[in-house]
């Protein structure tokens, strides 16, 4: 006997009673409206703030007219019409451990790119680094300290030879723009540097006549985000009555990478310099490293120098008689200089690092400590078929003078 089926249960809406809407009979919807309008207000404020940040970043980028004075792609090698190979061994103001040569081993072009390659001094001069060396007429510095070195049982001559190239006496600018596209070296204690240097020491020797460092970094490989090695660049202005009062730290900018470090690929480093500011950037002028305004105070005021040197002699303002007191010493003609050094005792390599020398040591002593520990650091320097990876490799250099071409 067939069982009787249960009547079909309909789920159709009862049109006589309508649809149940419990939220309409609940608490007042006013708080929900308030939340809605607060949300809209937050969006408007966020968009407005973002727009302001974009505009302010765009607005502070200098927009001057320029006349190009150098466009170099190194397709003709190292053109002596534009470039000077610097030959010095005196520490270049930072007491680095480098003898800069004009050798084709240290300065050469390959694949239409300039290479500044560090090598061992012993490779060309023999193992005795205690000998006396005088560069004589080959020296390109006016200072005898830069032209000779000697060693003894406690000190040695610079153990590293490398390349330094400049436009000194060839191309200079007083206000303008510079762009360099380059790839940086790999190797512990290597120190690549790109700078604008005063043609004449109008206000005195370094750093009284100023120096603009467009790019500085370290060759050591960064292993964590907080490292300050090949993942970080610094740029800024050197100024002060003498090296002990250099106030670079008060006019410095830092830019950090979190992938594709400076030794991994080519980057463009640039500076715009005019009567109002120095603006240093990377890859594009929107990616600012430093924007220093000249018009707020003089550099003597900015430096907050003490009344006297450590020996008791008074510190005088070296820029007091300048016709442009808010710009001096950065109101003169500067030329471009590029190099890769090793080590140094001026503090760029902090004693907090596990490095083989102390900054308190005399340069010759520090050089000896550095050299004696080469088995520790030399394995980090690319060699063999990869030797060029320890070089600064420059793809192009462009320079413009501020103002229209005549």
Q: Which is it for strands 66-72 and 392-402: parallel, antiparallel or unpaired?
A: antiparallel
Q: Which is it for strands 160-166 and 98-101: parallel, antiparallel or unpaired?
A: parallel
Q: pLDDT (tens digit, 9 = 90+) per residue, 12-55?
A: 555 555 666 666 565 555 666 777 777 777 787 777 666 655 55
pLDDT score recorded for residue 75: 96
The arithmetic mean of pLDDT across residues 245-249, rounded, is 97
| pTM summary value | 0.85
**pLDDT: which is higher, 55 or 308:** 308
- pLDDT for residue 2 is more than 70: no
d(CA 286, CA 268): 13
Q: pLDDT (tens digit, 9 = 90+) per residue, 120-161?
A: 999 999 999 999 999 999 999 988 899 999 999 999 999 999
d(CA 157, CA 128): 9
How far, in Å, are 89, 91, 123, 159, 346 from residue 152 at the CA level?
Answer: 17, 18, 20, 14, 22
By C-alpha distance, which of 254, 300, 302, 272 is closest to 177? 272
Burial (0-12, 13-18, 19+ Cβ within 10 Å), 52? exposed
pLDDT score recorded for residue 64: 75
């Amino acid at each position: 006997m067939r069982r009787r089926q249960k009547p079909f249960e309909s789920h159709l809406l009862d049109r006589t009673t309508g649809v149940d809407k419990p939220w309409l009979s609940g608490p007042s919807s006013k708080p929900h409206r308030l939340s809605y309008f607060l949300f809209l207000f937050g969006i408007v404020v966020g968009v407005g703030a973002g727009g302001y940040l974009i505009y302010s970043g765009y607005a502070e980028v200098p927009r001057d007219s320029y006349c190009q004075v150098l466009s170099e792609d190194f397709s003709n090698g190292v053109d002596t019409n534009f470039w000077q190979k610097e030959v010095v061994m005196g520490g270049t103001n930072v007491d680095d451990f480098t003898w800069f040569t004009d050798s084709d081993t240290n300065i050469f072009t390959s694949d239409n790119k300039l290479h500044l390659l560090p090598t061992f001094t012993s490779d060309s001069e023999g193992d005795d680094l205690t000998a006396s060396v005088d560069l004589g007429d080959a020296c390109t510095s006016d200072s005898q300290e830069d032209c000779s070195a000697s060693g003894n049982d406690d000190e040695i001559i610079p153990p590293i030879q490398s390349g330094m190239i400049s436009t000194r006496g060839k191309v200079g600018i007083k206000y303008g723009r510079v762009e360099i596209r380059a790839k940086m070296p790999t190797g512990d204690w290597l120190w690549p540097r790109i700078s604008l240097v005063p043609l004449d020491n109008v206000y005195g020797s370094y750093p009284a006549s100023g120096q603009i460092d467009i790019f500085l970094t370290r060759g050591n490989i960064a292993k964590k985000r907080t490292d300050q090695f090949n993942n970080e660049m610094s740029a800024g202005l050197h100024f002060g009555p003498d090296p002990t009062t250099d106030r670079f730290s008060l006019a410095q900018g830092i830019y950090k990478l979190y992938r594709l470090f400076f030794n991994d690929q080519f980057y463009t480093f640039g500076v715009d310099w005019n009567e109002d500011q120095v603006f240093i950037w990377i890859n594009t002028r929107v990616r600012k490293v430093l924007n220093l305004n000249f018009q707020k105070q003089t550099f003597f005021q900015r430096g907050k120098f003490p009344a006297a040197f450590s020996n008791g002699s008074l510190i005088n303002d070296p820029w007091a008689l300048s016709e442009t007191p808010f710009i001096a010493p950065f109101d003169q003609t500067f030329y471009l200089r590029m190099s890769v050094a090793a080590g140094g005792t001026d503090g760029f390599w902090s004693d907090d690092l596990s490095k083989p020398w102390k900054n308190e040591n005399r340069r010759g002593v520090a050089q000896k400590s550095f050299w004696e520990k080469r088995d520790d650091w030399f394995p980090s320097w690319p060699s063999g078929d990869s030797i060029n990876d320890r070089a600064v490799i420059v793809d192009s250099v462009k320079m413009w003078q501020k103002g229209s071409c005549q």
